[in-house]
Amino acid sequence: MTALFLVADGFDDLQLFLPWYRLLQEGFTVRIATPGGQRITGLHGYRVEADTPISEATPSEYDLLVIPGGESPERLRLREEAVDVARTFMDADCPVAAIGHGPQLLISAGSLDGKQVTSARGICDDLRATGAHIVDVGTVRDGHLLTCRGNDDLPEFCKQLVSLLRVGA
């Protein structure tokens, strides 16, 4: 199975690396897609090499989409190719996992109306405006969508992520 991480500069380092390594433990192949296929830098200075530019990522080749938070989702939502990838995953009912500010990309994709989600507190008003139902707990699963509030909730998120993938397999 293969996971696609959509990431730009300013990603939250923990929100990228914890799920990435957890998926590797489960035997997943993990691919990193960035806006230009370039190396990116996280909020704490960690650098990550991209496997592909987002414009060349074909959603049907992946079993899971992961959107780490930080400043990255705000940058990604301004790029139509990233919005299109997120929308394609959501429309196809493929597993999608978004952490912290990650749901910002799903807001731009128009994919959260009627969905139960959690997120970083700073985007709750944006989520409400899209018709999402916000639940203030660490992780929320609504069908194929798994959301996480933030770094303190990553251990539970990773557990839920593995559970979501086992059910979907």
Per-residue model confidence as pLDDT tens digits over 43-52: 999 999 999 9
Mean local confidence (pLDDT), 139-146? 97
Say if domain 2-168 classifies as CATH 3.40.50.880: yes
Q: What is the pTM of this model?
A: 0.96
How far apart are the C-alpha atoms of 36 and 53, rounded to whole Å?
A: 5
Positions annotated as catalytic residues are: 101
Q: What does the pLDDT look like over 64-123, one tens digit per residue?
A: 999 999 999 999 999 999 999 999 999 999 999 999 999 999 999 999 999 999 999 999
> Which among 20, 23, 26 has a CA at the least distance from the CA of 42?
20
